[in-house]
Amino acid sequence: MTRTGDTDLTAQSTSEAHAEAAATAGVQGLLFDDDLRPMPEDVGFRGPTACAAAGITYRQLDYWARTGLVSPSVRPATGSGTQRLYGFRDVLLLKVIKRLLDAGISLQQIRTAIAHLSKRGIDDLTQITLMSDGASVYMCTSPDEVIDLLAGGQGVFGIALGGVWREVEGSLSELPTERADGHGDDDHHANDELAARRRARMTG
């Protein structure tokens, strides 16, 4: 378990506290059972689409891009008339930032947390739960770490990135995509793939 200020934490707790924390983590969906796959790296989403999926304003999106919090990874703006394209991972991070802001976490703490998340591979992200006590953000990479944090009393709320992934996936399945070469995704392949994943989870 790592606090995003680079401080390691070890929570001491009783077995009863662990049992209660495990039940809480299960109810809140904070444990790790996700089997998720990324989209093709050459498929992206324009700014308004990324905003719609993440639940943020275009002003926020633009500010975060200009300040380096989340930059469009598929295609950056390179001049007048150039459309930025955000990848699936970018939209996922935007959604996480929105959740943290809504929970009252400071932008400074969020920048530190996002910097840590940005260094991880896409597969690693689905196995992370972000926990916060309202002041610091902690990255938990195993169920035991979530339980330790809850049992120690530090975790006020948690964000399972696998769950956020599914939410973003569902939102983007209904929105237009574009390829990095500037062509629209006319055959809707990426959208169809997202929609198929969503249907499979709902029926399976």
Per-residue pLDDT of the chain (204 residues; tens, 9 = 90+): 656 654 333 333 445 545 554 555 554 555 555 555 556 677 899 999 999 999 999 999 999 999 999 999 998 877 666 688 999 999 999 999 999 999 888 899 899 889 888 887 666 777 888 888 777 788 888 877 777 767 776 666 788 888 888 889 888 888 888 887 765 554 445 555 555 555 555 555
Per-residue model confidence (pLDDT) at position 6: 43
Q: Which of 121, 162, 160, 155 is nearest to 137 (CA)?
A: 155
Q: What is the CA radius of gyration of the chain?
A: 18
Instruction: Note the helical H segments in the chain.
Output: 15-27, 47-54, 58-66, 88-102, 107-118, 122-125, 143-152, 161-172, 189-203
pTM assigned to the model: 0.70
Looking at CATH, the fold of the domain delimited by 39-180 is given as Multidrug-efflux Transporter Regulator; Chain: A; Domain 2 (1.10.1660)
Per-residue model confidence (pLDDT) at position 7: 38
Per-residue model confidence (pLDDT) at position 187: 42
Per-residue model confidence (pLDDT) at position 20: 56
> How far lies 101's CA from each of 80, 95, 171, 201, in Å?
31, 10, 20, 29
